[in-house]
A and B are shown apart, each in its own frame.
Chain A
Amino acid sequence: MSRFKDTVIAGIVLLLGRGRRTREPRIVPPGRPDRGAENILLVLFACSTICAGGAIAVYALDRIGNQTQYLGLSLGLAFAFLAAAFVVIGKRLVVTEELDEPYPPEGHPGVQAQLDELVEESGERFTRKRLVTMAGAGAIGTLGLALVAPAVSLGPAFDLRSFAQTPWRRGRLLVGEDGLPLKADDIEENDFYGAYAAHADRDQIGSPLVLVRLPVSQLQLPSGREHWAPEGILAYSRICTHAGCAINLYRKPLYPPAEPRPALVCPCHYSTFDPATGGTVLFGPAGRPLPQLPLEIARDGTLRAAGNFSGPVGPSWAGVRDRKASS
């Protein structure tokens, strides 16, 4: 009973107080409802829902062609409608107020001084600050080095012999892209051939070769390489000495007005090498000639290496010229 009475009194008080009570200031300024915008919003949400549902349907239906396209289209449109919906909310359905507030102060000089003091006072019991600091830094620094040292396990950082290793040595058979031995008669002028070391990992940077045949009269190989190109067949490392891409272009003019010299070209940065002169650079960013592999023709007509390359294969590193290609 008393509960009922309380409720009635509270209700009366509320009713009486309604008109007179002073309202607390609002946070967000009032704005007028906008039924039109709300309708647009509802349509946009509906469109987004339909598109998202469509995406699920496209995903579930296996027999639909161009699934990737329809899936991207439906998901994209679902997001696009959602984006439009939120732009409508932002531009027309919530109040856009202008806040005007101070930037944070440039600094807090009082607190800065206190921090200074704090550190100063905390260290008062140390009498040999420099010595302690240096000893501490030494301990932590050495420990840091000890923690970093195992990074050396990541690779053979101090043993660079493997960088100049190739699978080539005297007598090693050349095989073509198909894995079959290459014969001297297979190599024709005006064309170029890829080759690899037989019975060795093709994905070793020292393995791939590029072969061309030039008229013997055109050859101007460096001294000491007189017998490296039997019948005018020349073998070079296929890996560009600039940035390691595989040589993929052979410029061989068939008619006089074209470029004057045959050339091997790398497709990455267009380093251009002259096969007639021992792989010297004609143009482009390469800094070293293409390493040449000495060839010999076996009695059965197959092509074999007569030794290792004229220099280290592949892109250069500091000290590269001091190394010889090794087997």
Chain B
Amino acid sequence: MIRRTVRYLDARTASAPLLKKTLRYAFPDHWSFLLGEVALYSFVVLIGTGIYLTFFFEDSTAPTHYHGPYQALDGTEMSRAYRSVLDISFSVKAGLLMRQTHHWAADVFIAAIVLHLMRVFFTGAFRKPRELTYYLGVTMLILALLEGYLGYSLADDLLSGMGLVIGYSVALSLPFVGANFAALIWGAPFPGSASFWPRMYIAHVLILPVLIGTLLAVHLALVAARHHTQFNESQKQSERRVIGMPMFPAYVPRTLGLLFAVTAVLFLLGGLVQINPVWLWGPYHVGASTNGAQPDWYLGWLIGALRLVPGFDVVIGHYTVIPGPFWGGALFPMIVFGALYLWPYLEKRVTGDHAFHNLLQRPRDNPWRTALGCALVTWVTLVFVAGSADRVAVYVGLSYVGQIWFYRVFVWIGPVIAFLVAKRVCEELVAGERVAKIRRAAERQTEASLGIEPPGT
């Protein structure tokens, strides 16, 4: 059977040598290498559940009235888009499960990408010859953020509308061309023309997924072309030789296990843990809003930034050049992603290290990079946490204004502290290892001179 299939394929595609090489591709082993795979498998679940949802979703803002099993909204005027999401949630069998699994998968997808990025950054995996792989990864993160944002905007519930008008305001705030740009995207001033929803929809279900899928394929092809990086855990692993288990038979069952485990977790979350109960918020109208609204976690850093930046428009004479939302909503993410894109170049430039690297570094092996990375993570995390100050004010009773002023100062101090602590920890860890090594050598020497046999020989 196998032999016949292989013979058939080889005769038609001449691919037997390639297949053999693929099946014997070596995977170095470390738990942190699985983060990227978790992202990949979340993407698979997203595609699967997403296709199911497209069979029921309507990309139209034409008004209609809801008549369905959810009594609280019975007779309410709403868009066809929102009604179709309610129908998916209440009338389509398994619809709510698929919708919630899709939403959870998006949250896990981006979380896994972020953790994977941190792993790649802190171990120096992005260094020559793997810069292109890294740039593609960062680009996919941006696309994934946009994709997730469009996804929960499409539902056209109250929260999605509030998110969209904030996005619109950030687009509008781009220097000089903001209004022109927003007019092109939305087709008209907010809430936009009738074609805006179909535009969002096609971007969400076709353009961005195809882009992400294509970049993903190239990303994986680049990984395979240069082979995986590895930690220098044993004597055998070196810059020249890769040590790992083969794709087949050892790795395939393991990675299938991970695929099914990720799917299991996502379905369990989708079935048992409620996420984005759109029916509670009701339909969006320009004049409506709700308190305590929070975006999906991966946009928390942007809402935090929008809240932290004091009201400050750049005005020349009587001409507003840069409206306030630009700082938190556009400039802040540009700086963060700009730093991520520039980092491999900057590191090469500063250290003069243009060598080939197949071996990974432990974070402690490169205290400067680790410390700067920690500072960046702390910066973004503090801004993210600042986005929840209103909830803290409600639940704990701390003054909102006081908290905002605290964060306005501390987002600059926190990263400095993180930098100093991380650098010191790295240096101490390395120094500790050096001491241990010297002591072992000295002990061995002493034992040898006294004629004591080391135990176990």
Q: Is there contact, CB below 8 Å, between A320 and B320?
A: yes
| CA of A318 to CA of B188, assembled, Å | 17
Apart from A76-B267, A286-B324, A316-B320, what 9 extra A-B contacts exist at CB < 8 Å?
A93-B253, A99-B242, A100-B243, A205-B189, A207-B287, A239-B286, A246-B288, A315-B169, A318-B322
Q: Is there contact, CB below 8 Å, between A77 and B264?
A: yes
Residues of A close to B261: CB separation below 8 A: 79-80, 83
A141 at the interface (CB under 8 A from B): no
A281 at the interface (CB under 8 A from B): yes
- B254-271 with Cβ < 8 A to chain A: 254, 256-261, 263-271
- A196-246 with Cβ < 8 A to chain B: 196, 202-205, 207-208, 238-239, 242-246
Given A285-B310, A285-B324, A156 and B253 contact (CB-CB distance below 8 Å): no
Report the minimum CB–CB distance from A34 to chain B (whole Å). 14
Among B180, B285, B323, which residue has its beta carbon within 8 angstroms of that of A316? B323
Given A98-B244, A316-B323, A154 and B257 contact (CB-CB distance below 8 Å): no
Q: How large is the interface on B (under 10, 10 to 19, 20 to 34, 35 or more residues)?
A: 35 or more
Residues of B close to A84: CB separation below 8 A: 257
Given A86-B260, A152-B184, A203-B191, A103 and B242 contact (CB-CB distance below 8 Å): yes
Given A79-B263, A318-B179, A71 and B271 contact (CB-CB distance below 8 Å): yes
- Top 4 A-B pairs, shortest CB-CB distance: A72-B271, A208-B287, A76-B268, A315-B169
9-residue interface stretch from B94-102, B210-218, B409-417: B94-102
| CA of A284 to CA of B315, assembled, Å | 18
Find the residue from B174, B187, B325 having the highest chain A CB count within 10 A. Answer: B325
Report the minimum CB–CB distance from B222 to chain A (whole Å). 12
Among A78, A267, A288, A317, which residue has its beta carbon within 8 angstroms of that of B172? A317
B119 at the interface (CB under 8 A from A): no
Q: Is there contact, CB below 8 Å, between B268 and A72?
A: yes
- B161-207 with Cβ < 8 A to chain A: 162, 165-166, 168-170, 172-191, 193
| CA of A100 to CA of B176, assembled, Å | 58
| CA of A162 to CA of B190, assembled, Å | 10
B311 at the interface (CB under 8 A from A): yes
| CA of A205 to CA of B82, assembled, Å | 20
Given A152-B184, A244-B169, A245-B289, A100 and B253 contact (CB-CB distance below 8 Å): no
A321 at the interface (CB under 8 A from B): yes
Residues of B close to A238: CB separation below 8 A: 287
Q: List 25 A-B contacts (CB under 8 A).
A: A72-B101, A73-B268, A73-B271, A75-B271, A76-B264, A83-B259, A86-B256, A89-B253, A90-B251, A99-B242, A100-B243, A103-B239, A154-B185, A157-B181, A160-B180, A243-B165, A246-B287, A271-B311, A288-B313, A315-B325, A316-B325, A317-B182, A318-B321, A321-B318, A322-B319
**How many cross-chain pairs have Cβ atoms below 8 Å apart between A and B?**
291
Report the minimum CB–CB distance from B248 to chain A (whole Å). 9
- A120-152 with Cβ < 8 A to chain B: 151-152
Among B257, B258, B260, B390, which residue has its beta carbon within 8 angstroms of that of A270? B390
Residues of A close to B133: CB separation below 8 A: none
Mask, B335-366, CB within 8 Å of A = 1, is 00000000000000000000010100000000
Q: Is there contact, CB below 8 Å, between A287 and B243?
A: no
Residues of B close to A96: CB separation below 8 A: 245, 250
Q: Is there contact, CB below 8 Å, between B254 and A87?
A: yes
B3 at the interface (CB under 8 A from A): no
Report the minimum CB–CB distance from A168 to chain B (whole Å). 14
A268 at the interface (CB under 8 A from B): yes
| CA of A183 to CA of B311, assembled, Å | 35
Report the minimum CB–CB distance from B90 to chain A (whole Å). 10
Given A72-B101, A318-B175, A246 and B286 contact (CB-CB distance below 8 Å): yes
- A61-106 with Cβ < 8 A to chain B: 67-73, 75-80, 82-87, 89-91, 93-104, 106
Given A286-B324, A315-B172, A203 and B183 contact (CB-CB distance below 8 Å): no
Residues of A close to B190: CB separation below 8 A: 205, 244, 314
| CA of A28 to CA of B20, assembled, Å | 13
Among A68, A242, A268, which residue has its beta carbon within 8 angstroms of that of B162? A268
Residues of A close to B185: CB separation below 8 A: 154-155
| CA of A208 to CA of B307, assembled, Å | 23
Among A68, A90, A162, A271, which residue has its beta carbon within 8 angstroms of that of B188? A162
Given A76-B268, A152-B184, A322 and B169 contact (CB-CB distance below 8 Å): no
